[in-house]
Amino acid sequence: MSRRSGLPAAAAALLCAALSGCRGIQSSLDPAGREAAKISGLWWLFFYVCTAVFVLVLAFLFYGVFRRRSEDALGARERGKTYVAIGAGATAAILLLFLVVSVSAGREIAEPAGPDALKVQVIGHQWWWEVRYPASPANRTVVTANEIHVPVGRPVFLELLSGDVIHSFWAPNLHGKKDLIPGRINSHAFTAKKAGVFRGQCAEFCGLQHAHMAFTIFAETPERYSAWYEKQLAPAAEPSTPSQERGRQVFVSNSCVFCHAIQGTPAFGQVAPDLTHVGGRGTLAAGSVANNPGNLAGWIADPQSIKPGNHMPPMLMAPEDLLAVTDYLESLK
């Protein structure tokens, strides 16, 4: 009876898997990186061995319970000791196997990234990700938010810092997670093996909007990556229409500049995402909504209804100013 009742749960899980298809852009079972692939291999080994053990132990249990012949002779009890000892020995042997494969996988994953690794700094904030590509000379440093572009095949070395509370960086298709802890610098390295767009999300509870603290990783061919990088180095695009011109004017004369920066304008705020190339990003508010003019205007006018509790105050401005600012920001590709 007990065994049968477990089935609905398994069936439900399978059904869910079937319904959502194979789009696993945030899934540890669809590895696209060297590290995630190793971990996924480890999981399947664990899964098959543990399932076999589980079935075997329960089979023994139910056979023992429902066996018709009673057995309580002294000899049988002595044999019981042998069975328990065999069971304990088998448990220890399986654990030893798990230990060996786990530690060796851990060692491979933890190999330090070589000198050719791409170095990226990720700084966690409530509730968004600051992403910096440090370079020398310093004017080749790229700063963006909530998006990380990496070349396929080249190791990426992440320096993880926090600006406030503890966060955790997790892009399951590429690697497991690593915490961002105030007062410490953690390192995390992965290598993307397949091109693609992957999603990641903060995995350490960090307050009100922990649920809306996502980021996107673009694993691209080295050429496309270089093209993106060069584009990011340029200052913000100049307005090309009167509406965009007005939008820039509204932006720099409003309180926006206290928090946001747009390279090439007088906006140098450092506490909120850099907007120099915001128009080129796929999402707004750390993966909360798609980046399009409607969502952007809605976000500027009333960020608290999209992401309650976030640190951006509502911007009170005339409707035409709002449209102009939106127009301008969307032009910053």
CB of 140 to other proteins, least distance (A): 28
Span near other proteins by CB under 8 A; candidates 175-183, 226-234, 245-253, 324-332: 175-183
Which C-beta is closer to other proteins: that of 30 or that of 245?
30
Task: Report residue 187: phi and psi, to 5°.
Answer: -120, 155
Does 74 engage in binding with other proteins (CB under 8 A)? no
Told to check if 318 binds other proteins by CB under 8 A, we report: no
- Sole window of 115-123, 162-170, 238-246, 319-327 interacting with other proteins (rule: CB under 8 A): 162-170
Minimal distance in Å, beta carbon 119 to other proteins? 17
Q: Is 295 in the site for other proteins (CB under 8 A)?
A: no
Are 333 and 255 spatial neighbours (Cβ–Cβ below 8 Å)? Answer: no
Does 68 participate in binding other proteins (rule CB under 8 A)? yes
Total of chain residues touching other proteins, rule CB under 8 A: 98
Angle between helix 34-66 and helix 74-109 axes, rounded to 10 deg: 170
Q: Does 29 bind other proteins (CB under 8 A)?
A: yes
Q: Residues 230 to 259: which contact other proteins by CB under 8 A?
A: none
312-332: buried (b, 16+ CB within 10 Å) or exposed (e) per residue?
beebebeeebbbbbbbbbbbb
Q: Is the omega angle on the peptide bond into residue 127 within 30 degrees of 0, that is, cis?
A: yes
By CB under 8 A, what part of segment 95-114 binds other proteins?
A: 95, 98-99, 102-103, 105-107, 109-110
Told to check if 84 binds other proteins by CB under 8 A, we report yes
| Interaction of residue 69 with other proteins, rule CB under 8 A | yes
> What letter does residue 165 receive in the DSSP assignment?
S
Q: Which of residues 120-149 bind other proteins (CB under 8 A)?
A: 126
Please state the closest distance from residue 87 (CB atom) to other proteins, in A: 4
The reply on whether position 172 binds other proteins by CB under 8 A is: yes
Written as one letter, the residue type at 195 is A
Strands 156-162 vs 118-125: parallel, antiparallel or unpaired: parallel
DSSP conformational letter for 239: P
Under the criterion CB under 8 A, does residue 60 sit at the interface with other proteins?
yes
Write the single-letter amino acid at 84.
Answer: V
Select from 116-124, 137-145, 163-171, 251-259 the region that touches other proteins (CB under 8 A).
163-171
Quick check: 93 binds other proteins (CB under 8 A)?
Answer: no
137 upstream amide cis, omega within 30 of 0:
yes
CB contact at 8 A, 129 and 171: no
113 and 103 in contact (C-beta within 8 Å)?
A: no
Question: Could you tell me where the beta strands, DSSP code E, fall in the chain?
Answer: 118-125, 128-133, 142-145, 147-151, 156-162, 167-169, 178-180, 186-190, 196-201, 214-220, 283-284, 289-290
- Residue from 34, 137, 161, 184 touching other proteins (CB under 8 A): that is 184
Instruction: Find the binder of other proteins among 23, 139, 318, 319 (CB under 8 A).
Output: 23
Among 48, 71, 227, 314, binds other proteins (CB under 8 A): 71
Whole-number minimum distance, CB 4 to other proteins, in Å? 10
